[in-house]
Amino acid sequence: MSTVWVVLEERAGRIAPLSWEALAAGRQLSKLTGLSLNAVLIGAETATLAGELSNQSLQRVVRIEHPLLTPYTSDGFALALEQFFRSADPRYVVFPHTYQVRDYAPALAARMSQMLLGDVVEICPAASEGDSPTFVRQLLQGRLSGHYRHTGDGPCFLSVQAGAFRAPESQAGACATADTFPPILEAAQIRTRPGQPFRASAQTVDLASAERIVSIGRGIHDAANIPLVQELASVLDAELAASRPICDSGWLPPDRQVGSSGQSVAPKLYVALGISGAIQHQVGMKASRCIVAVNKDPEAPIFEIADYGIVGDLFEVVPALTEAVKSIKM
């Protein structure tokens, strides 16, 4: 039976926020294709998660449960999902584009001779009747969009980018009760042994609660230039943050990093200085209420999500901004 399946992920005992967005993408695909929408939960114990789906109007919810599925391992997830999808015969399988999905979904797709379309930002209706929908992903760090078609003889696997699809409100209509699928797994098939998650350093800054953030990227060129930006942050009463390369270089501590591998923030004001706006950075800040970008490259992807932009040399613009903020405060 040809259908749409969404694989949902758990975080802290609940369905993770990004998984709700994946469900929204799945619902869009279901509407475009007329195929029914179904969801998969996977882990050692998923009954509570299934309870969260009771008002989502899904045709089926399947709980893939096995003691070896917690903690997560690529081997366990790929094996269990492969067994299930070989029996379910899906047309589309939708995932949230998380670190975990990136770790196993390409292997799962390859086992079924397919390629995962990762980090999808848009699903477009088929150009003509009988065709399949097309999928948009960002190319060249967000500078261009690539429009993809699935041509494989089998299910189409895709994962959706954070923030690209709006998480659903509850849907009218009851949901079928969840049934369980017990995969056949043996301990010897799990080849890696994951340890407990830990934090590298104590989190001393809570960027998520900052009202204003001034953030720097590669355009700052040198750690010696940071005081210039710190001054602007001070007059704005803002926290200083950075994109990944700045923290990798040790110019700012890792707890000031914004992006998929750092903190996710949504302040009133986010000022991006010399940040090109790679996808990994954007997902951590694009929910900000007002985004200002200063960059010497007018085609930098950061301008695609900025409310206000100045194309120019940040070493000239930043001191001018500091002065302008000071004068308006007096």
Positions in 247-306 near another protein (CB under 8 A): 247-248, 254-255, 257, 260-264, 268-269, 276, 279, 286, 289-293, 297, 299, 301, 303-306
Options 172, 191, 209, 227; binder of another protein; rule CB under 8 A: 191
Q: 179 or 237: whose CB is closer to another protein?
A: 237
How far apart are CB 220 and another protein at their closest, in Å? 16
Q: 175 or 325: whose CB is closer to another protein?
A: 325
- Tell me the C-alpha distance between 216 and 44, whole Å: 42
Q: 58 or 120: whose CB is closer to another protein?
A: 120
Tokens of 93: 């399988």
Site string for another protein, 219-238 (x = CB under 8 A): -----------------x--
Q: How many residues bind another protein (CB under 8 A)?
A: 97
How far apart are CB 16 and another protein at their closest, in Å? 10
- Tell me the C-alpha distance between 269 and 307, whole Å: 10
Tokens of 145: 């969009």
Site for another protein in 4-63 (CB under 8 A): none
Options 111, 171, 175, 225; binder of another protein; rule CB under 8 A: 111
How far apart are CB 328 and another protein at their closest, in Å? 5
The sign of the torsion formed by the CA atoms of 138, 140, 146, 149 equals negative
Half-sphere exposure of 59 (CA within 13 A, CB side): 14
Options 2, 48, 170, 203; binder of another protein; rule CB under 8 A: 203
CA distances from 17 to 6, 24, 69 (A): 14, 11, 21
The sign of the torsion formed by the CA atoms of 97, 100, 105, 106 equals positive
Options 12, 187, 328, 330; binder of another protein; rule CB under 8 A: 328
Tokens of 256: 């000031």
Residue 174 lies near another protein (rule: CB under 8 A):
no
Tokens of 23: 């469900």
CA 121 centroid distance within chain: 10
Q: 35 or 236: whose CB is closer to another protein?
A: 236
Site for another protein in 123-162 (CB under 8 A): 134, 137-152, 154
How far apart are CB 239 and another protein at their closest, in Å? 14
Half-sphere exposure of 74 (CA within 13 A, CB side): 13
Cβ 130 vs Cβ 124: under 8 Å: no
